[in-house]
Amino acid sequence: MSLSHKRSSLPEENLMRRTSSFHSAVTLFELPTPKPTDDDAETECPPRRSKRLRTVVRPSSMDDAPANGGAAGMSLDMNEMRGAEARRSSRRHDMNDGGEVIASTSSRTLRSPGLSTSRKRQRDQDVLSPLKKPKATPQSSESAPSAPARWREAYDRIKGMRSRIVAPVDTMGAGAAQLGETVPKNQRFATLVSLMLSSQTKDEVTSAAVRKLREAVGGSLSAEAILAAEDKVISEAICKVGFWRRKTDYIKRTAKRLQYDYSGDIPKTVDELCSLPGVGPKMSILALHVGWKINAGVGVDVHVHRITNRLGWHTPPTKTPEATRLNLQAWLPEDLRPTFTGLLVGFGQTICLPVNPRCDACDLNDGLCPSGSGTTPRSVDDISATTNHGSPSGPLVVIELQS
């Protein structure tokens, strides 16, 4: 604003005059300092809000939470916890359980010997978050596919071949983990841990990791023992399995949930099991089969997914193990479901391999399998197969033909 405008807007007698210190002939005019008014206070800008996050002190357990909300620092804001749960759900990637893929970790995380602070905070929030009804797991495909032609004939032939073959899943699968425990509750927990470790990992490596983990936590696998062990101890015991850092976090958080919500045991429904960190439909169904003897569906892994598609049992072919599970549960008889997974997994480990399947030693290679090589199948009536568990490269299947 120019000086002329200031002088014209105020009476001259209200201006303050003083002689310039540089020349006595020069007179300087100054505006008087305005006094603050009520109107000025109303138009004053509000203080700027800090962008720093408010830290809320959380109780160490549900028992420490005050009944009436307590002090502001200890209050559990329900909306805040729901928002945290939603953010966790958006970041969470389940393990490869029936098609779920574990999210790969960054290079910085891979160099870190322990879990990040955010994961530890998330682990505590699993207990603090209010319990909600588990999301319902689909049980069959909406299209309700019918049973494929000649599926029972193919199933019986696979069963006949498997009766003469000992596969890794027979001696080192999820059912073997419970053999190291005497308490039924610990047997079920060990089975679940074995299933969580088995994702994207060979049975030989999983079995060794379960044994090492049992020794590292005191000789028995239980939710209490896992919670008492440090993250580093668990990680060192399972470091040979795939995604061991992520699985360390999942096992620790699952143990905490089981300890607080189920007295250290595993629940009896697929929906409740699927609500645990890192547990999907395949793991839940197999855990119920082995642990509780509950027939809850068909557990589908990569072997079952591959073999059933090679046999042409899905029209159109399914793209994920979860889609395969829904199709199979639409028509596979319930009495076959508890043993179906182990039957096909062993078949996929020994004969119907992912790469270079042994079609020349398969009873289905006479036209029953549309994906067969077309070569004349040799007699497998006297097949005997053994596995070399000490081989570092995996099981060695030896097929002997007797004339």
CB atoms near residue 360 (< 10 Å):
15
3-class SS of residue 345: helix
Query: CA 62, CA 74: separation in Å to the nearest integer?
Result: 12
Catalytic residue among 256, 268, 282, 319: 282
pLDDT in tens, 263-319: 999 999 999 999 999 999 999 999 999 999 999 999 999 999 999 999 999 999 999
pLDDT of residue 57: 43
Give the confidence band of 143 by pLDDT, cuts at 50, 70, 90. confident
CATH of 155-361, one of 3.40.190.150, 2.40.30.10, 3.30.70.1280, 1.10.340.30: 1.10.340.30
Q: What is the mean pLDDT of the chain?
A: 77
Q: Residue 201's closest CA among 250, 270, 234, 247? A: 247
pLDDT in tens, 119-136: 666 655 555 444 456 777
pLDDT of residue 19: 81
State the chain's maximal CA–CA distance in angstroms.
Answer: 131
- Is 282 labeled as catalytic in the residue annotation? yes
Q: Identify whether the C-beta of residue 278 lies closer than 8 Å to the C-beta of residue 201.
A: no
From residue 223, give the alpha-carbon distance in Å to each of 120, 128, 251, 256, 299: 17, 18, 9, 7, 24
| Position 52 pLDDT exceeds 70 | no
Q: Residue 272's closest CA among 135, 395, 125? A: 135
Give the confidence band of 108 by pLDDT, cuts at 50, 70, 90. very low
Write out the two tokens for 293: 């003897």
Q: Which residue has the higher pLDDT, 198 or 386?
A: 198
Output b/e per residue, 152-175; b: 16+ Cβ within 10 A.
eebbebbeebbeebbbbbbebbbb
pLDDT of residue 99: 43
Cα-Cα-Cα-Cα dihedral sign, residues 127, 93, 254, 261: positive
Q: Identify whether the C-beta of residue 274 lies closer than 8 Å to the C-beta of residue 135.
A: yes
Give one word for 206, left, alpha or beta, with left for phi > 0 and alpha for psi -120 to 50: alpha
pLDDT in tens, 204-251: 999 999 999 999 999 999 999 999 999 999 999 999 999 999 999 999
Alpha helices in 51-100 (DSSP H): 78-91
Compute the chain's Rg from CA coordinates. Answer: 34
